[in-house]
Amino acid sequence: MTKVLLVEDEPDLLAMVSEALTHHGVDVIEAESGLRAIERLRTDGPFDLLVSDIAMPGDVSGIDVANAVVDAYPHMRVVLTSGHPLSHFPPLPQNVRFLPKPYRVKQLMEIVRTLAP
């Protein structure tokens, strides 16, 4: 079973995407902020995949979480999401996929199936 760390600061979206992924047989661990995601990486891993919003309140963005994953967990795959154009952000770490919001669960599941071991 694929284990995903799902990071989203919008509670309704976090719950909806988590439920949809779980329905499709994915083991989901939720984090509502970048800081919480960093904690979850240490306490609830290992994970196969990180799916994270980029823009979140606080000092830790989705890009920061992605950089932490790339540095410490090179086997993990990373998908970053945002409703803002990719051009609004600094360059993404190497091998990180971008999924623009709004996205359909089907789109996310195709990426999960493609990237998961």
Query: What contacts 73, CB < 8 A, 6 or more positions away?
Result: 41, 45, 46, 47
Residue 67 tokens read as 């950089």
**pLDDT for 73-84, tens place per residue?**
989 999 999 999
CATH number of the domain at 24, please. 3.40.50.2300
The pTM assigned to this predicted structure is 0.96
Per-residue pLDDT of the chain (117 residues; tens, 9 = 90+): 999 999 999 999 999 999 999 999 999 999 999 999 999 999 998 999 999 999 998 999 999 999 999 999 989 999 999 999 999 999 998 889 999 999 999 999 999 999 877
Domain count, the chain: 1
- 64 in Cβ contact with 46 (< 8 Å): no
User: Which residue range(s) make up the domain with 46?
Assistant: 3-115
| Per-residue pLDDT, 117 | 74
Residue 52 tokens read as 């994270």
The mean pLDDT of the chain is 95
